[in-house]
Structure 1
Amino acid sequence: MTDPLGAEALDQIFRKARTYNGYRDASVSEEQLTAIWDLMKMGPTSANSLPARLVWCTSQAAKDALADCASEANAVKIRKAPVAVIIGMDLEFYEELPRLFPHADARSWFVGKPKMIADTAFRNSSLQGAYLIIAARALGLDTGPMSGFDADKVDAEFFAGTSHKANFIATLGYGDRDTIFDRSPRPDFTEFNSIR
């Protein structure tokens, strides 16, 4: 059994971490993006399906193209961030299962079952997006996950000709504390939980 993380690590990943609307003028390297992936890929997904497909927008041209698919407020955040990432999902993720989950014929669980495919891709790419946020925070970066975009436009611009679809977007960098609001309420355990 492993020991619990210390208070400092828990603060960095959860308690003091925030969703940022803007970032300091500091670049994020490709090595840092690779390090995020190398951590987030270790998080559990159904049958190791790993359906997330990421597009890291690091050039201004890519960020501008993504911003053109987003709401006005989110477009500003995307254009100014050091990095924006599209967390997509592959609706043909099951084709990778013979390699990713060789313990069983997991591919056959999905073939010809579009609802199961869509549900599994969405649920598990969402999990992977959460792992991305945790990995980035663990590595000293901040994020600004968001909805507020036209998924069809994102798919046409970034995933054309593929079986990939957008799930959500996040910005990434070193957060500027002047761009965040006071922490919103977080209810106590007894309000939103039950034990049976």
Structure 2
Amino acid sequence: MSLVLDPTAQDLLFREARTANTFTDEPVTDEQVQAIYDLVKYGPTAFNQSPLRITLVRSPEARERLVQHLAEGNQAKTAAAPLVAILSADNEFHEELPALLPHFPAAKDMFFSERPVRESAAAMNAALQA
């Protein structure tokens, strides 16, 4: 059985993918950010919960505040990156479920009324989106 995904894409995504440790100084445009988000928003999440939240850090002042909270090994590369995206999970995602899952609005309270359940679901599903 062969995979439908082109071998070049397989290499890019799985076989040759590595953590970026250096960045060019080429700016990241709003259009590029939007194109990336337009793919991420369709990531598979249970109950369409989409708990991923993205905070973009562009200004030198915001970057300076962020860098001081990072591990020493991450400070220089983060300071030099043209854009920093902080990915987080919204533990209150269930408040949006009636709009995101209109055919089953009861899911909000039926499955996610308890905070530990929401936190676990948010962490797993935000990781899927990321």
Q: Same fold (TM over 0.5)?
A: yes
Match of 2:18, SS state, is: coil
**Correspondence 1:128 to 2:129:** yes
Moved over 3 A (4+): none
* Distance in 1, Cα, partners of 2:72 & 2:78: 10
* Distance in 2, Cα, partners of 1:69 & 1:124: 25
**Correspondence 1:44 to 2:44:** yes
**Correspondence 1:110 to 2:112:** yes
Q: CA deviation at 1:114?
A: 1.1
**Is this contact kept in 1: 2:97–2:107, CA < 8 A?**
yes
* Matching residue of 1:91: 91
Q: CA deviation at 1:93?
A: 0.4
**Is this contact kept in 1: 2:25–2:80, CA < 8 A?**
no
Alpha-carbon displacement from aligned partner over 1:128-172 (angstroms, at most 9, x marks no partner): 12xxxxxxxxxxxxxxxxxxxxxxxxxxxxxxxxxxxxxxxxxxx
* Distance in 2, Cα, partners of 1:128 & 1:65: 26
Q: CA deviation at 1:31?
A: 0.8
* Distance in 2, Cα, partners of 1:122 & 1:42: 17
TM-score normalised to structure 2 length: 0.90
Larger strand percent: 1
Alpha-carbon displacement from aligned partner over 1:33-68 (angstroms, at most 9, x marks no partner): 111110011111110001111101122222222111
* Distance in 1, Cα, partners of 2:61 & 2:108: 37
Q: CA deviation at 1:85?
A: 0.9
* Matching residue of 1:145: none
Alpha-carbon displacement from aligned partner over 1:7-27 (angstroms, at most 9, x marks no partner): 112122222222111112211
Alpha-carbon displacement from aligned partner over 1:61-89 (angstroms, at most 9, x marks no partner): 22222111111111111111111111111
Larger helix percent: 2
* Distance in 2, Cα, partners of 1:17 & 1:123: 21
* Distance in 2, Cα, partners of 1:34 & 1:117: 27
* Matching residue of 2:120: 119
Runs (5+) with no aligned partner, structure 1? 130-196
* Matching residue of 1:28: 28
* Matching residue of 1:59: 59
Using the aligned pairs only, state the percent identity: 39
* Distance in 1, Cα, partners of 2:71 & 2:63: 13
